[in-house]
Copies of this chain bind each other. A is one copy, B any other.
Amino acid sequence: MPGQAPPTVTGYALLGLLSLRGEMSGYGLKKLADRTLRFFWVAPAMSHVYSELTRLSRAGLVTESLTQRGGRRLRRYSLSAAGDLELRRWLGEGEVDFPILKHEVALRLFLGHVTGPDRPRHLLARYRGQLRARSEELEAIRRSLEDDPRFRYAAMVAEWGIRYYLEEQQAVAHISNQLDPDRGPT
């Protein structure tokens, strides 16, 4: 069977979540992704999780177990031996892209010459609030990860994120100062 396309990065990320938690439903996987992957990769849409899981299953990297509970069919996925191997292979292998940032706030600051300083100033203020909210969210998650050695690496990534959000708040404060009306540009 030639032309089996390798999984996408998101596919591997899902394999990784399964390796962390064991058997899960697509729905559960989505919720877990929202608590983890979302902060440094993507928050995949529900439908995307399902289609990705279908592909992984066809490739033999996850196994499905279909159960009936009441009137509801429940499909649980877990990492197959082949999936575990393939995940390890991918993790050990070469090319890792430099991170990509899609930062609309920065884009709008960049275009400040069109709007004048008021608009970026306002957006920066809002962004700061969002950063605070995100910080708290992520800190709650990090606390929930504490003291379980299995989640040690997850906790490190969470701390990295918290640190980033903090620094970002300071950067925003600094820029807002520069945009201050007193010392302000046109």
Contact = CB atoms under 8 A, between A and B. Distances in A.
Contacts of A115: 88, 91-92
A109 B107 CA distance: 29
Contacts of A126: 96
Nearest to A115: B91
Interface stretch (A60-68, A69-77, A148-156): A148-156
A120 B92 CA distance: 9
B88 A16 contact: no
A45 interface: no
A48 interface: no
A97 interface: yes
Chain B CB count within 10 A is highest, among A9, A101, A149, for A101
A99 B113 CA distance: 21
Nearest to A13: B107
B109 A157 contact: yes
Given A114-B19, A156-B178, A163-B171, A98 B134 contact: yes
Interface in A109-136: 109-115, 119-120, 123, 126-127, 130, 134
B42 A102 contact: yes
Given A88-B114, A114-B16, A167-B167, A153 B109 contact: yes
Interface string A11-29: 0010010011000000000
In the A-B complex, the 3 residue pairs with the closest CB atoms: A112-B153, A40-B106, A99-B103
